[in-house]
Amino acid sequence: MKLSELKRRFLEYTEIEKGRSLKTIENYDRYLTRFFGFLKSEDPIDITDETVRDFRLYLNRQSTGNNRATGDTLKKKTQNYYLIALRSFLKYLARQNIASLPSDRIELAKVSDRQIDFITTDELRRLLDAPNGSDVKSLRDKAILELFFSTGLRVAELCSLTRDVDFSRDEFSIRGKGEKVRVVFLSDDARKAVKAYLSKRDDVDDALFVKVAMEKKFKGESMPLSRRSVERIVKYYATKAGIVSKKVTPHVIRHSFATDLLSNGADIRSVQTLLGHSSITTTQIYTHVTDKHLRDVHRKFHDKKP
């Protein structure tokens, strides 16, 4: 069977059997298509250590689209996306008893430790307080910010919410990455903010967060907020709150949610579950900015005068 046909079947399997999002399927398709174009073969047996090595060299020498003049090449993290897609494809071939390169022959490039962006407690409070009007737009934006900090939701998860959620309770379920369901919890501030916003709504749209009249291009059009729209809202209020030296995004508020829990004594396994991380390694990126014990040790023992 040709690689192009195997790729089609793999993508369908990944979508249906593995439950991956359409965005993931789209990315896998793009990464594999680029690799197969480089390979110039339709035979799975031609995927070898040597062809993968040559492809990695090819990726490592590619200039990024916006930085050709500076000579910047693809980041190691971006290169790894191609390798992850290829490794998943090879695992699929093995399950189908199709001869090709074993997936464990592919090693990811080493990347530097992830640096997380975060804002201070004071900056966070100013951000949450920035929408202070009583109009529906201000109430909506206040509810968005409070909900982000209360639940640690990803922006796509927030955009997927509908009015079916029972906000009279202090918890609700959300379907996140990989179709995994987890429970998130509402603070009193978040519940009050959402309730105030919904009481001001006069439309019948099912989406929880929608564009208001002044933001719509066409009257009567159903306009749930997109991911990009939510990102613009967060950026706007960060600027209004005077946070201009940092890039503030919905994910930064998610960072604040995690660091707030850890700083106040939550165990990392619980935070992993609340964030919906499949691996504890992902959650561990927060520990170096929240390790109160290390700060206490530093204060107690560093630079003591005789």
Q: First CA to last CA across the chain, in angstroms?
A: 77
Is 277 a residue of the active site?
yes
Is 126 a residue of the active site?
no
To 10 degrees, the CA torsion angle through 91, 96, 99, 105? 10
| Separation between Cα atoms, residue 264 and residue 290, nearest integer Å | 9
Is 216 a residue of the active site?
no
| Separation between Cα atoms, residue 255 and residue 117, nearest integer Å | 8
Question: Of these residues, 56, 126, 192, 251, which one is catalytic?
Answer: 251
Q: Where are the beta strands (DSSP E) in the chain?
A: 171-175, 181-185
In sequence order, which ranges of 201-264 are alpha helices (DSSP H)?
227-240, 250-263
Is 154 a residue of the active site?
yes
How many degrees, rounded to 5, is the angle at CA 237 between CA 236 and CA 242? 105
Helix, strand, coil abundance in the chain, percent, nearest 5:
55, 5, 40
- Backbone torsions φ then ψ of 173, nearest 5 degrees: -95, 145
Q: Which residues, in sequence order, are bridge partners of residue 182?
A: 174
Q: Which residues, in sequence order, are bridge partners of residue 162?
A: 207
Burial of 96 (0-12, 13-18, 19+ CB in 10 A): middle
79 near 70, Cβ under 8 Å?
no
Question: Of these residues, 191, 211, 255, 277, which one is catalytic?
Answer: 277
DSSP symbol at 246 = S
Burial of 220 (0-12, 13-18, 19+ CB in 10 A): exposed
Is 254 a residue of the active site?
yes
Is 286 a residue of the active site?
yes
Question: Of these residues, 140, 191, 254, 255, which one is catalytic?
Answer: 254
Question: Of these residues, 177, 182, 201, 240, which one is catalytic?
Answer: 177
Question: Of these residues, 28, 92, 197, 286, which one is catalytic?
Answer: 286
Question: Of these residues, 20, 154, 211, 255, which one is catalytic?
Answer: 154
Token pair of 126 as six digits: 């100013």
Q: Which residues are catalytic?
A: 154, 177, 251, 254, 277, 286
